[in-house]
């Protein structure tokens, strides 16, 4: 598993692994657990321009639908085809094989949460 | 990511807990609010629990459901007057699905009624309708020599549902813990028999809400944890798992069974929901009789299957090929057993025929859908 302290987080329960000008984005184990078994993932097309806070996809469980928000400004570089074929990866490996999209960053990063801040948020 | 289910809103009302709550906590259950009760929504994975019920069996805690006893010389006559069906003629040991109608003809609750003895009936009502069901029955009991009691607080309910269910109960019988008054193998669907578990009285019913063979066992709260543990232990080698309300919902949806608050409500007339057969218009008089029939153009409940993988969910709009709104989805999910989305919806009678091509507006995208016969899933 990734070292969770090296990741950044959003209040919408996404995580980001930032490497140079690329951000890998997924949803946290907390979010996956709250959703229940994920059965469908809808991701944006590669090349889509995204903007922080805008809906770019959907994550459906048997019980509910979650919207995926772009956490940063940029362009979709890659999507995880494996998770489209096997949405259960979001539950079984939320921080690794269950990653959702990679975004090429443009502009500055918005304010993001540290691991400690995120854990405090979900402990409420 | 938003819209992940959140803990129940702080309403200021103390949540209610099942007598099995500690057992569920120890099993690692996630809980959800259901009609004011904190009940297990899943233990590990709702898909795993769903498949376990279809292939082995699942153990459900349904202690939140309401049990109302009706006892007295007029019990049968009272139920015939208070409910939409005829209960006075069912044999002792039989169960019957029935409806409690408002005087205006809408559905106050859907119920299962067991005849325990000539003058002794047990009514099982939905947790969310406990109060209205009890109060309505109590009010309608005036003039009848009958006692209506709400026994919900003293009654636990454990269901074991799935093809392995009978084998698990047989195992408890072999262990000399469960002792039905008659052989279990002779207990047919929608019948019940009395007996004991650890010498405590139980009612064993061959009923359920999953589309599988199975049993529902009523007993007192204090004995419920011991029965649950015994069923879980005997069931584990057979692939039986505890199952939460999330799987119960997808199971009943596949089985085409209505859920109060979704397919049934005060605005629904029985025939709209395909429950015309439950209403015995041959009876001269019963509450709601004069208004029980829907208008000719009233929407009717249908099953839909959708293309792709995206589920239609409650309150989504059903459209015809021209884009005109012709109905509303009441329940929907990606069917775990069938692998494609299924939904129940109320649609205009003109588009209700099996095979009709429709669409469902899934958050701005119209997904092609086809009207199909219910149930979606029938056990072989």
> Would an 8 Å CB–CB cutoff place A40 in contact with chain B?
yes
Closest alpha carbon within chain A to B41: A36
Instruction: State yes or no: pLDDT of B347 exceeds 50.
Output: yes
Give the tens place of pLDDT for each residue, A87-103: 999 999 999 999 999 99
Q: Which of residues 94-123 of A touch B (CB under 8 A)?
A: none
Residue A108 pLDDT: 86
Find, among B253, B248, B255, the residue nearest to B330 by Cα: B253
| Residue B2 pLDDT class (50, 70, 90 cuts) | very low
Instruction: State yes or no: pLDDT of B378 exceeds 80.
Output: yes
Whether residues B204 and B304 fall in one domain: no
Spatial distance between the Cα atoms of A16 and A28, rounded to a whole number of angstroms: 10
> Would an 8 Å CB–CB cutoff place B283 in contact with chain A?
no
Whether residues B173 and B243 fall in one domain: yes
Does a structural domain hold residue B186?
yes
Give the tens place of pLDDT for each residue, A56-84: 999 999 888 999 999 999 999 999 999 99
Give the tens place of pLDDT for each residue, B225-239: 999 999 999 999 999
Closest alpha carbon within chain A to B47: A37
Whether residues B26 and B162 fall in one domain: yes
Does a structural domain hold residue B148?
no
Spatial distance between the Cα atoms of B245 and B274, rounded to a whole number of angstroms: 24
> Would an 8 Å CB–CB cutoff place B45 in contact with chain A?
yes
Q: Rounded mean pLDDT of chain B? A: 96
**Which of the residues A31, A35, A36 would you substitute to probe the B interface, choosing the one with the greatest number of B C-beta atoms within 10 Å?**
A36
Of A13, A31, A62, the CB nearest to B336: A62
Spatial distance between the Cα atoms of B355 and B170, rounded to a whole number of angstroms: 43
Residue B13 pLDDT: 77
Provide the CATH number for the domain around residue B232: 3.30.1360.120
Closest alpha carbon within chain B to A124: B7
Instruction: State yes or no: pLDDT of B326 exceeds 80.
Output: yes
Count of domains forming chain B: 3
| Residue A1 pLDDT class (50, 70, 90 cuts) | low
Q: Which domain holds residue B322?
A: 295-380
Is CATH 2.40.50.100 what the domain over A8-119 is classified as, yes or no?
A: yes
Residue B341 pLDDT: 98
> Would an 8 Å CB–CB cutoff place A11 in contact with chain B?
no
> Final residue of a domain: which of B240, B272, B294?
B294
Instruction: State yes or no: pLDDT of B4 exceeds 50.
Output: no
**Secondary structure, 3-state, chain B:** CCCCCCCCCCCCCCCEECCCHHHHHHCCCEEEEECCEEEEEECCCHHHHHHHHHHCCEEEECCCCEEEEEECCCHHHHHHHHCCCCCCCCCCCEEEEEEEECCCCCEEEEEEEEEEECCEEEEEECHHHHHHHHHHHHHHCCCCCCEEEECHHHEEEEEEECCCHHHHHHHHHHCCCEEECCCHHHCCCCEEEEEEECCEEEEEECCCCCCCCEEEEEEEHHHHHHHHHHHHHHHHHHCCEECCHHHHHHHHHHCCCCCECCCECCCCCHHHHCCHHHCCCCCCCCCCHHHCCCCCCCCEEEEEEECCCCCCCCCCEEECCCCCEEEEEEEEEECCCCCCEEEEEEECHHHCCCCCEEEEEECCEEEEEEEECCCCCCCC
> Would an 8 Å CB–CB cutoff place A36 in contact with chain B?
yes
Whether residues B361 and B302 fall in one domain: yes
Residue A64 pLDDT: 87
Q: Do B113 and B69 meet the contact criterion of CB atoms below 8 Å apart? A: no
Whether residues B175 and B121 fall in one domain: no
* Residue in the block written with tokens 């209960």: B87
| Residue B12 pLDDT class (50, 70, 90 cuts) | low
Instruction: Report the pLDDT averaged over residues B33-62.
Output: 96
Residue B5 pLDDT: 43
Whether residues B289 and B359 fall in one domain: no
| Residue A8 pLDDT class (50, 70, 90 cuts) | very high
Cβ contact (<8 Å) for A91 and B45? yes
Residue B274 pLDDT: 97
Whether residues B109 and B35 fall in one domain: no
| Residue B350 pLDDT class (50, 70, 90 cuts) | very high
| Residue B1 pLDDT class (50, 70, 90 cuts) | low
Residue A42 pLDDT: 95
Instruction: State yes or no: pLDDT of B144 exceeds 50.
Output: yes
Q: Which of residues 302-331 of B touch A (CB under 8 A)?
A: 309-311, 313
Find, among B160, B193, B200, B156, the residue nearest to B177 by Cα: B200
Whether residues B245 and B352 fall in one domain: no
Whether residues B281 and B311 fall in one domain: no
Whether residues B281 and B304 fall in one domain: no
Instruction: State yes or no: pLDDT of B8 exceeds 50.
Output: no
Whether residues B43 and B184 fall in one domain: yes
Q: Which of residues 24-43 of B touch A (CB under 8 A)?
A: 30, 41-42
Number of Cβ pairs < 8 A linking chain A and chain B: 74
pTM for this structure? 0.92
Can you give the residue ranges of every domain in chain A?
Answer: 8-119
Instruction: State yes or no: pLDDT of B6 exceeds 60.
Output: no
Give the tens place of pLDDT for each residue, B72-111: 999 999 999 999 999 999 999 999 999 999 999 999 999 9
Whether residues B175 and B233 fall in one domain: yes
Q: Which of residues 334-353 of B touch A (CB under 8 A)?
A: 334, 336
Instruction: State yes or no: pLDDT of B10 exceeds 60.
Output: no
Give the tens place of pLDDT for each residue, B116-142: 999 999 999 999 999 999 999 999 999
Which residues of B fall within a CB distance of 8 Å from A42?
A: 310
Tokens for B326?
Answer: 């012709």
Q: How near does any CA of chain B get to the CA of A68, in Å?
A: 5
């Amino acid at each position: 598993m990734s070292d969770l302290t090296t990741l950044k987080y959003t209040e919408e329960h996404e995580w980001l692994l930032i490497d140079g000008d690329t951000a890998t984005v997924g949803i946290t184990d907390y979010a996956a657990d709250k959703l229940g078994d994920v059965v469908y993932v809808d991701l944006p097309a590669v090349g889509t321009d995204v903007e922080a806070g805008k809906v770019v996809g959907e994550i459906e469980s048997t019980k509910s639908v979650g919207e995926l928000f772009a956490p940063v400004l940029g362009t979709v570089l890659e999507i995880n085809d494996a998770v489209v074929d096997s949405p259960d990866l979001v539950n079984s490996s939320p921080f690794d094989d269950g990653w959702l999209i990679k975004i090429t960053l443009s502009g500055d990063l918005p304010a993001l949460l540290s691991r400690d801040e995120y854990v405090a948020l979900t402990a409420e | 990511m938003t819209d992940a289910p959140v803990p129940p809103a702080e309403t200021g009302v103390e949540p209610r807990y099942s007598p099995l709550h500690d057992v569920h906590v120890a099993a690692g259950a996630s809980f959800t609010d259901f009609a004011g009760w904190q009940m297990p929504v899943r233990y590990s994975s709702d898909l795993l629990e769903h498949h376990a019920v279809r292939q082995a069996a699942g153990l459900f805690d349904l202690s939140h459901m309401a049990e109302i006893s009706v006892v007295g010389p007029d019990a049968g006559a009272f139920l015939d007057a208070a409910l939409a069906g005829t209960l006075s003629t069912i044999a002792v040991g039989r169960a019957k699905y029935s409806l409690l109608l408002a005087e205006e003809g809408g559905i106050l609750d859907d119920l299962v009624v067991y005849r325990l003895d000539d003058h002794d009936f047990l009514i099982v009502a939905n947790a969310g309708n406990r109060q209205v069901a009890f109060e309505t029955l109590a009010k309608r009991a005036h003039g009848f020599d009958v006692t209506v009691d709400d026994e919900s607080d003293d009654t636990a309910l454990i269901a074991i549902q799935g093809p392995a269910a009978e084998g698990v109960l047989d195992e408890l019988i072999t262990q000399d813990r469960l002792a039905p008054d008659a052989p279990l193998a002779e207990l047919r669907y929608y019948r019940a028999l009395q007996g004991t578990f650890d010498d405590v009285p139980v009612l064993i019913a061959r009923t359920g809400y999953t589309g599988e063979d199975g049993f529902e066992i009523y007993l007192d709260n204090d004995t419920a944890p011991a029965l649950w543990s015994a069923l879980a232990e005997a069931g584990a080698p057979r692939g039986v798992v505890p199952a939460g309300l999330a799987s119960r919902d997808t199971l009943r949806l596949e089985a085409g069974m209505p859920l109060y608050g979704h397919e049934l409500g005060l605005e629904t007339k029985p025939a709209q929901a395909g429950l015309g057969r439950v209403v015995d218009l041959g009876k001269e008089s019963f509450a709601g009789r004069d208004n029980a029939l829907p208008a000719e153009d009233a929407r009717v409940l249908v099953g839909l299957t959708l293309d792709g993988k995206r589920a239609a969910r409650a309150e989504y709009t059903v459209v015809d090929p021209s884009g005109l709104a012709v109905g509303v989805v009441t329940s929907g999910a990606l069917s775990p057993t069938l692998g494609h989305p299924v939904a129940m919806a109320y649609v205009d009678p003109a588009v209700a025929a099996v095979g009709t091509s429709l669409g469902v507006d899934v958050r701005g995208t119209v997904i092609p859908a086809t009207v199909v016969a219910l149930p979606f899933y029938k056990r072989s």
